[in-house]
Amino acid sequence: METIKKYLETMFANLPRTPEVIKAKDELWQMMEDKYNELIAEGRSENEAVGIVISEFGNLDELAETLGLEQAVEESHELMELEPRRQLCMDEVRDFLHAQMARGSMMGIGVLFCITCSIWVILLSDTILEMIGVLLMLIQIALAVGMFVFAANRHAKWSYIYKEPCSIDFATAEYVASEKERYSLGLKGQRTIGILLCATCWLPAALFDSIGLTKLNIMDNIVAVMLLLMVGVGVFFIVNSAIVRASFEKILKINNEKTMGSQFVDAQKVLYENPRLNNLMSVYWPTITCIYLSWSFLTFNWGSSWLIWPIAGIAHSVIKKNLGCTKQA
Amino acid sequence: MVEISSDVIRGYNDTMILYILQKAPSYGYEISKQIKQLSDGKYIIKETTLYSAFTRMEKNGYIESFTAAPEADGGGKRRTYYRITASGQQYYKEKCEEWNLTKEVVEHFISVEA
- Residues B59-77: tens digit of each pLDDT: 899 999 888 876 655 556 7
B99 touches chain A (CB under 8 A): no
* Interface test with chain A among B27, B36, B51, B73, by most A beta carbons within 10 Å: B51
**CB-closest option in A24, A30, A35 to B79:** A30
What average pLDDT does the structure give for chain A? 82
Residue A90 pLDDT level (bands cut at 50, 70, 90): confident
CA–CA dist A254, A170 (Å, integer): 12
| Closest by Cα among A178, A219, A185, A223 to A203 | A223
pLDDT surpasses 90 at A203: no
Q: How many residues does chain A have?
A: 329
Q: How many residues does chain B have?
A: 114
Higher-confidence residue of A133 and A329: namely: A133
Q: What is the mean pLDDT of residues A74-80?
A: 67
> What is residue A98's predicted lDDT score, i.e. its pLDDT?
93
Q: What is the mean pLDDT of residues A6-25?
A: 82
* Interface test with chain A among B30, B46, B47, B55, by most A beta carbons within 10 Å: B47
Cα–chain center distance at A287: 21
pLDDT surpasses 90 at B19: yes
**SS3 for A226?**
helix
Least confident range of A69-83, A176-190, A291-305, B32-46: A69-83
Residue A257 pLDDT level (bands cut at 50, 70, 90): low
Q: What is the mean pLDDT of residues A220-225?
A: 82
Are the Cβ atoms of A59 and B29 closer than 8 angstroms?
no
Residue A327 pLDDT level (bands cut at 50, 70, 90): very low
Least confident range of A124-138, A155-169, A300-314, B58-72: A300-314
> What is residue A17's predicted lDDT score, i.e. its pLDDT?
77
B29 touches chain A (CB under 8 A): yes
> What is residue A186's predicted lDDT score, i.e. its pLDDT?
92
Look up the domain containing B33 and give its range: 6-107
CA–CA dist B65, B81 (Å, integer): 5
Angle between helices B47-60 and B86-107 (to 10 degrees): 120
Name the closest residue on chain B to residue A33, using Cα atoms: B29
What average pLDDT does the structure give for chain B? 86
B55 touches chain A (CB under 8 A): yes
Residue A272: strand pairing partners:
A324
What ipTM was predicted for this assembly? 0.84
Higher-confidence residue of B112 and A104: namely: A104
CA–CA dist B50, B68 (Å, integer): 19
> What is residue B100's predicted lDDT score, i.e. its pLDDT?
93
Are the Cβ atoms of A60 and B46 closer than 8 angstroms?
no
B9 touches chain A (CB under 8 A): no
Q: What is the mean pLDDT of residues B41-55?
A: 88
**CB-closest option in B47, B54, B79 to A57:** B47
Residue A267 pLDDT level (bands cut at 50, 70, 90): very low
Q: What is chain B's Cα-based Rg?
A: 16
User: What is the number of structural domains in chain B?
Assistant: 1
Residue A328 pLDDT level (bands cut at 50, 70, 90): very low
- State the DSSP string of A236-249: HHHHHHHHHHHHHH
DSSP E strand stretches across chain A: 86-88, 166-168, 270-272, 324-326
> What is residue B114's predicted lDDT score, i.e. its pLDDT?
61
Higher-confidence residue of A84 and A59: namely: A59
Whether residue B112 is contained in a domain is answered as: no
Give B28 to chain A, closest Cα distance, Å: 6
**Over the stretch A310-325, which tens digit does the pLDDT of each residue have?**
788 788 878 877 776 5
CA–CA dist B25, B42 (Å, integer): 24
Strands B79-84 and B26-27: antiparallel
> What is residue A143's predicted lDDT score, i.e. its pLDDT?
92
- According to DSSP, residue B19 is labeled H
> What is residue A283's predicted lDDT score, i.e. its pLDDT?
79
Are the Cβ atoms of B32 and A35 closer than 8 angstroms?
yes
> What is residue B62's predicted lDDT score, i.e. its pLDDT?
92
Name the closest residue on chain A to residue B45, using Cα atoms: A56
> What is residue B96's predicted lDDT score, i.e. its pLDDT?
92
Q: What is the mean pLDDT of residues A118-144?
A: 86
Query: Is the separation of the CB atoms in A110 and A175 below 8 Å?
Result: no
Q: What is the mean pLDDT of residues A250-258?
A: 78
> What is residue A258's predicted lDDT score, i.e. its pLDDT?
65
Selected residues 39-58 of chain A with any CB under 8 Å from a CB in chain B: 56-58
Kindly list the distances between the CA atom of residue A229 and the CA atoms of A140, A146, A240, in Å, as whole numbers in the listed order: 14, 21, 16
Residue B14: strand pairing partners:
none
Least confident range of A108-122, A212-226, B59-73: A212-226
* Chain B residues near residue A60 by CB distance under 8 angstroms: 48
Residue A166: strand pairing partners:
A86
B46 touches chain A (CB under 8 A): yes
Helix (H) or strand (E) holding A148: helix A130-156
Query: Is the separation of the CB atoms in B73 and B6 below 8 Å?
Result: no
- According to DSSP, residue A213 is labeled G
Whether residue B16 is contained in a domain is answered as: yes
Query: Is the separation of the CB atoms in A320 and A277 below 8 Å?
Result: no
CATH of residue B40: 1.10.10.10
Query: What percentage of chain A has pLDDT greater than the value 70?
Result: 85
* Chain B residues near residue A31 by CB distance under 8 angstroms: 28-29, 32, 47, 50-51
pLDDT surpasses 90 at A306: no
